[in-house]
Structure 1
Amino acid sequence: MVGDLLRGFVPDTWVKELDLTTLEKCSGSYVSDDLRDRADDLIWRVHWGQDWLYVYLLLEFQSTIDRWMAVRIQTYLG
């Protein structure tokens, strides 16, 4: 599914160079700067030539419209 997401939503040519057979799920657990545990299980790595490329997928499923979604996304990225 991750390979399909990359091919379907990232239109750049470099995606075609990825070896999607090497996709591996990585640990997404970490501690934030203010020492709170955070968890995210959508970090993957994949071979791009000889190197590993880390792919961070941020998917947010909502049942209603959230007018503050842009602020929430900025918080996640920060």
Structure 2
Amino acid sequence: MSLTAFNRVLKINGAPSTVTTLTAREREVLTRTAIGEKAEQIARAINVTKPTMVMHLNNCRKKLGARTLAQAVAIALGHRMLRP
């Protein structure tokens, strides 16, 4: 994603006014989503059910004020919340 596109994504809903803390599990599932892993793969890898994994992703989205997972990833990357 280009820097211009990245900044545009952040402006859609705005970045959080304060840096939100994601749990270690939320960061893990968001990082795995960012690199393209599917929900089933992530759930198996972290040894939880798919609904539990989806709950973690939804918590990330809500905490970051994002409308979509792509926007949540962009916001988290912009705040350096995710590890490569």
Q: If the length of structure 2 is used for normalisation, what is the TM-score?
A: 0.27
Specify the structure having the higher radius of gyration (Cα).
1
**Structure with more contact order per residue of length (Cα contacts < 8 Å, sep ≥ 6):** 2
TM-score by length of 1: 0.28
Normalized per residue, the structure richer in helix is 2
More strand by share: 1
